[in-house]
Structure 1
């Protein structure tokens, strides 16, 4: 058995699953968290991430990231950090792989459209939708709804960004089914997953932005964190042309941020006197953090990325088209639920808010390309893509 730190999550101490499972149904010698990870990997909702927006809406280019590849990259970073800190690597990996499953098509543009559509019915939140999908909607097993993941897994997904002080309707619903102590801090594994996500998208979005020609090296060097890392890269490879070092810059930044997080987290754990998972939950603050200096630099990088990439005119135009698609689909299904498919038509409620929430579940599960195809079928026109 792996040697874990005393404050890690141990699979044999898990609070279990919502639905009891007979031991004879376990396939292979896997512990609870390994089975959680494998259930995510084999799920339909995880496979759909290959056609969901990360940064670029329905990218033509084969080399741009999508939600699936992003989640795999988050898992790689999270596993490495967890292993180094003595945390449960399997639980961390499972959390990283599943963290974006609740995202609707077209990323944040799709989420904004669903939030507006459900304004009078409780709104929409992709994090709560992840729990809703895994606990209620994605149901491959014959005896229960959902994937029946462990409490530790669900709690980590609910609170990886910290305690949930004001849960929305979807979070309240799943919490009522399997209470997740929303007021307390999550496991260190969940905290690692949250910052592994930041490390991944901070840096890989730079890579995609450069590839798309929406970012330039000169622009990036105005950001202190990037400039510092670039200096180290150039010092290591003084005889290599700058355009050949852009991928190395991304790798340097990832390593720098991961190493800072590991060192700072170790110091936080020691200073807090944490000896157990109970101590982690009662700490009253995040223990997995960047150093104050890097945290400030990372926030500056995010501001730069919003100003130059996420809010680039071509991105805003694609996002607006995506919002139109999702808004139109919601209105069409609300006017005539028979336009949905299969059991979604049969299960649609007649009363509100259940009717609107059911329609939102249907749309949230769509991939970008399926949403585009349904919109074309219902309204004509064409989809929304970026230039290669």
Structure 2
């Protein structure tokens, strides 16, 4: 099946997977794919993955065709993740599956929508997009006749559950999932999951610069306030003195990604050696994240994040659009709670009678919406939506 693939001893091996929550018939073979390849393909073919093309990444309901959405971001994360995984001898298919699936739990309008759902669900355990990713893949996305969910491998679910490292105090959604299929929440995830997490950081750190400049929220002068960005800009300008500023900015973003990827590879190899990591479980049992930036690059990356929050994510126009988006999601939650008969038939027939399950069911429905569907539903049921819900 994959006899030509050379894996490092510490890589996850699909032939040694801990399996799936629900046993599948082994005599049903749909092509010569490994466990992790099938996981990746199930994610790509899912409805929830397709909906990412109309969910906000940074810019709310963008009118322009060139801005990133959750889908394009996920594809870019996967590209970076595969590159790192291949260089380190990890399983590329598992890494790719984790990268592609990591944002599936995001509601419409990104973090603004998540804030509105958190407010609406305060008395029912709250809302968290990371746990919602697991809930979507294990319970809500159900194309198969014999079980709920996509029945992904333990390794994919573990990596998604511990996207940010070990979880010692899981929220209700993650605790419910873990009770059904123990994901060893207190340990670090696989190296592939750690690579997927750092690939996510690299992607949005740099691609958000590209979108921010394109939208006019960031300027070159602002970017050059960061010393390591200024050094890269100087190097790019020396190499391409006749290129336009726009072209050099794109080259700056590419070179930044390359620097970060190379740093992750070098720093990860050093930690693998220092911590004597020989197997996949050695990485899980370590007391630190093995795959990640060097200490020097981590400081630079934190400075970049701080800069992006101040200048882009908390930009007045961003905040204004986020306020409008929260209104839409809040109005939808309130409407469906007061008028559950408005739910689509397949959601209405499964609506629990008791709380907190009723509210969680409604939140599942709203969280799955795309930006544009949420707007249409808001206007349809409440008669209005905030005007000008766009910041580009």
Indicate whether 1:292 and 2:295 are aligned: yes
Q: Find the counterpart in structure 2 of residue 385 from structure 1.
A: 389
For residue 45 of structure 1, report the CA deviation from its aligned partner.
0.4
Q: In the alignment, what sits opposite 2:306?
A: 303
Among 56, 63, 68, the residue aligned to 2:71: 68
Report the Cα distance in structure 2 between the residues aligned to 1:152 and 1:319, rounded to whole angstroms. 35
* Structure 2 residue 264 is the aligned partner of structure 1 residue 241: no
Match of 1:24 among 24, 27, 44: 27
Between the aligned partners of 1:330 and 1:201, the Cα distance in structure 2 is 29
1:366 aligns with 2:355: no
Deviation readout 1:55-89 (Å, 9 max, x if unpaired): 00110000000000000000000000000000000
Q: Distance in 2 between matches of 1:264 and 1:285?
A: 13
1:99-248 to structure 2, matched below 5 A, reads 99-248=102-251
- Secondary structure, in 3 states, of the residue corresponding to 1:205? helix
Structure 1 vs Structure 2 CA RMSD: 1.0
CA drift of 1:343 comes to 1.2
TM-score, length basis structure 2: 0.97
- CA distance in 2: counterparts of 1:376 and 1:278, whole angstroms: 51
1:16-95 correspondence to structure 2 within 5 Å: 16-95=19-98
The structure 1 segments of at least 4 consecutive aligned residues displaced by more than 4 Å after TM superposition are none
- Cα deviation for residue 382 of structure 1 reads 4.3
Offset of residue 340 of structure 1: 1.3
> Deviations along 1:146-197, whole A, 9 cap, x unmatched?
0000000100100121000110000001101110000011000000000000
Using structure 1 for the length normalisation, give the TM-score: 0.98
Structure 2: how far apart are the matches of 1:246 and 1:68? 23
Q: CA deviation at 1:387?
A: 5.0
Deviation at 1:240, TM superposition (A): 2.0
Displacement, 1:355?
A: 0.6
Query: Which structure 1 segments of 5+ residues have no match?
Result: none
* Cα displacement (A) at 1:230: 1.1
SS, match of residue 23 in structure 1: coil
Corresponding residue pairs, total: 388
Superimposed CA distance per residue, residues 365-386 of structure 1 (whole angstroms, 9 cap, x where no aligned partner): 0000000000011122346532
Q: CA deviation at 1:25?
A: 2.2
CA distance in 1, matches of 2:20, 2:158: 11
Structure 1 equivalent of residue 339 of structure 2: 336
Cα distance per residue 1:109-153 (max 9 Å; x no partner): 000000111101000010000000000000000110000000001
- Matching of residue 323 in structure 1 with residue 329 in structure 2: no
Q: In structure 1, which of residues 357, 362, 365 is the aligned counterpart of residue 360 of structure 2?
A: 357
CA contact (8 A) 1:224 1:297 kept: no
User: Is 2:11 aligned against 1:5?
Assistant: no
How far 1:52 sits from its partner (Å)? Answer: 0.2
Mapped partners of 1:332, 1:382: distance in 2: 13
Q: Distance in 2 between matches of 1:25 and 1:233?
A: 53
- 2: CA distance, partners of 1:381 / 1:355: 25
